Chain A
Amino acid sequence: MGRRIAIVEDEAAIRANYADAFTRQGYEVAAYADRPSALAAFARRLPELAIIDIGLGDEPEGGFTLCAELRAMSARLPIIFLTARDSDFDVVSGLRLGADDYLTKDISLPHLLARVAALFRRLEVLAGAAPQEEQLVRGPLALDIQRLAAHWRDQPVALTLTEFWMVHTLARHPGHVKSREQLMTEARLVVDDGTITSHIKRIRKKFAAVDAAFDGIESVYGAGYRWKA
Chain B
Amino acid sequence: MTSLRISLRTKLALISLLLLALPWVGYRYVDEMERFLRDGQRDALVATARAVATALHERPQLFGPRPGGTAVSLADSMLPNEEVLDLAISSMPALPAEAAPFGLPAVTAPTRGGADEVAAILRALERTTSRIWVVGRDLDVIARAGTLVPPDEADTAPDGGLLRLWRRLTGRAGAAPADIAALLADATPPSAQAVSSAFFGATASWVRPVGDGEVVVVAAAHPVWVADRVHGAVVVEESTRAILSVRDRALARLMLLTFTGFAITAVLLLGFASRLSWRIRRLRDEAENAVDARGRIADLSAGSRAGDEVGDLSRSFSRLLARLAQHHGYLETMASRLSHELRTPVAVVRSSLENLQLEPLPDSATPYIERANAGLTRLTRILSRMSEATRMEQALASTETERFDLRAVVGECVQGYRLAHPGTCFEAQLPDYPVWVRGAPDLAAQMLDKLVDNAVDFAAADTPIRIALVFHDTTAELSVSNDGPPLPAALEGKLFDSMVSGRQRDGGDEPHLGLGLYVARLIAGFHGGSLRAANLPDGRGVCVCAALRLA
Residues of A at under 8 Å CB distance from B?
11, 13-14, 17-18, 20-21, 24, 84-89, 104-106, 108-110, 177, 179, 190-195, 197-198, 219-223
Min CB distance A173 to B, Å, is: 16
Q: Which residue of A21, A24, A86 is within 8 Å of B351 (Cβ)?
A: A21
Which of B81-89, B140-148, B265-273, B388-396 lies at the binding interface? B388-396
Given the known interface contacts A106-B384, A192-B391, the answer about A84 and B340 at a Cβ–Cβ threshold of 8 Å is: yes
Interface residue B92 (Cβ < 8 Å from any Cβ of A)? no
Residues of B within 8 A of A11 (CB): 344, 347-348
Cβ–Cβ contact A219 & B442, under 8 A: yes
Within the assembled complex, what's the spacing in Å between the Cα atoms of A179 and B232?
139
**Shortest beta-carbon distance from A27 to chain B in Å:** 14
Do the beta carbons of A222 and B351 come within 8 Å of each other? no
Residues of B within 8 A of A219 (CB): 441-442, 445
- Complex Cα distance, B445 from A190, in Å, reads 21
Given the known A-B contacts A17-B352, A220-B416, are A106 and B343 also in contact in the complex, defined by CB atoms under 8 Å? yes
Is B351's CB under 8 angstroms from A197's CB?
no
- Interface-facing stretch out of B250-258, B406-414, B477-485: B406-414
Nearest-CB distance from A10 to chain B (Å)? 10
Q: Are A88 and B445 in contact (CB under 8 A)?
A: no
Of all chain B residues, the one with the shortest Cβ separation from A86 is B387
Contact A192 B445 (CB under 8 A): no
Q: Is the CB of B344 within 8 A of A105?
A: yes
Kindly list chain A residues whose C-beta atoms are within 8 Å of the C-beta of B395.
88, 194, 197-198
Using an 8 Å CB-CB cutoff, how does the interface string of B392-425 with A read, 1 for contact, 0 for none?
A: 1011001000000000010011111101100000
Q: In the complex, which residues of chain A have a beta carbon less than 8 angstroms from the beta carbon of B248? A: none
Contact between A223 and B384, CB atoms less than 8 A apart? no
A105 touches B445 (CB 8 A): no
Size range of the chain B interface in the assembly: 35 or more
> Chain A: interface secondary structure?
mixed
Q: List 11 A-B contacts (CB under 8 A).
A: A11-B344, A18-B351, A84-B343, A84-B344, A89-B394, A104-B343, A195-B384, A220-B412, A222-B415, A222-B416, A222-B448
Return B446 CB to nearest CB of chain A, in Å: 7
List residues of chain A with CB within 8 A of the CB of B385. 192
Contacts of B286 in A (CB 8 A): none
Cα distance A177–B347 in the bound complex, in angstroms = 32
State the main secondary structure of chain B at its contact with A.
Answer: helix
Q: Do the beta carbons of A222 and B347 come within 8 Å of each other?
A: no
Chain A residue, CB-CB nearest to B384: A192
Judged by a CB distance under 8 angstroms, whether B380 is at the interface is yes
Are B351 and A192 neighbours in the complex by a CB distance under 8 Å?
Answer: no
| A72 CB to nearest B CB, Å | 28
Provide the residues of chain A in CB contact with B381, threshold 8 Å. 190
Which residues of chain A are within 8 angstroms of B419 by Cβ–Cβ distance?
A: 223
Residues of B within 8 A of A87 (CB): 390-391, 394
Interfacial chain B residues near A88, Cβ < 8 Å: 391, 394-395, 398
Contacting pair A21 B355 (CB below 8 A): yes
| Nearest CB in chain A to that of B381: its residue | A190
- Chain B nearest CB: distance from A89 CB in Å? 7
Complex contact A105–B343 (CB within 8 A): yes
- Please determine whether B347 and A84 come into contact, CB atoms closer than 8 angstroms: yes
> Which residues of A have CB within 8 Å of B351?
13-14, 17-18, 21, 109
Q: How far is the CA of A86 from the CA of B417 in the complex (A)?
A: 29
From A105, A109, A177, A179, contact of B354 by CB (8 A): A109
Q: A13-B352, A84-B343 are in contact. Are A222 and B414 (CB under 8 A)?
A: yes
* A89→B398 CA distance, assembly (Å): 10
- On chain A, the residues within 8 Å of B348 by CB distance are 11, 13-14, 17
Cα distance A104–B344 in the bound complex, in angstroms: 10
Closest residue of A by beta carbon distance from B383: A106
Indicate whether A17 sits within 8 Å of B355 (C-beta atoms), given known contacts A105-B344, A197-B395, A221-B409: yes
Closest to A105 in B: B347
A223, B398: Cβ atoms under 8 Å? no
From residue B298, how far is it (CB to closest CB) to chain A in Å? Answer: 26
Interface centre among A11, A89, A109 (most CB of B within 10 A): A109
Q: Does B247 contact A (CB under 8 A)?
A: no
A222 engages B343 (CB within 8 Å): no
A222 pairs with B441, CB closer than 8 A: no
The CA of A86 and the CA of B415, in the complex, are separated in Å by 32
Nearest-CB distance from B518 to chain A (Å)? Answer: 13
State in angstroms the CA–CA spacing of A135 and B86 once bound together. 173
| Top 6 A-B pairs, shortest CB-CB distance | A222-B416, A222-B413, A17-B351, A223-B416, A221-B445, A105-B347
**A residues near B448, Cβ cutoff 8 Å:** 221-222
CB contact under 8 A between A109 and B355, given known A84-B340, A197-B395, A223-B420: yes
A219 to B420 CA separation, bound complex (whole angstroms): 15
Is B354's CB under 8 angstroms from A222's CB? no
Complex contacts, A177 vs chain B, CB 8 Å: 416
In whole angstroms, how far apart are the Cα atoms of A131 and B367 in the complex? 43
* Residue B449 is within 8 A (CB to CB) of chain A in the complex: yes
**B346 interface residue, CB < 8 Å from A?**
yes
Q: Which residues of B contact A222 (CB under 8 A)?
A: 412-417, 420, 445, 448-449, 452
**CB-CB < 8 A to B442: which residues of A?**
197, 219, 221
Tell me the smallest distance from the CB of A80 to a CB of chain B, in Å. Answer: 14
Complex CA–CA separation, A64 to B394 (angstroms): 20
Determine if B391 and A21 form an interchain contact, defined as CB atoms under 8 angstroms apart. Answer: no
Question: Does B124 make an interface contact (CB < 8 A)?
Answer: no
* CB pair B445 A193 closer than 8 Å: no
A-chain residues with CB within 8 Å of residue B380 when the two chains form the complex:
106, 190
A25 to B452, CA, bound (A): 46
A220 CA / B351 CA spacing, docked (Å)? 36
Residues of B within 8 A of A18 (CB): 351
A193 to B381, CA, bound (A): 11
Q: Complex formed: what's the CA distance from A24 to B351 in Å?
A: 13
Chain B residue nearest to A194 in the complex (CB): B391
Q: Contacts of A192 on B, CB cut-off 8 Å?
A: 384-385, 387-388, 391
- A104–B339 Cα distance when bound, in Å, is 12
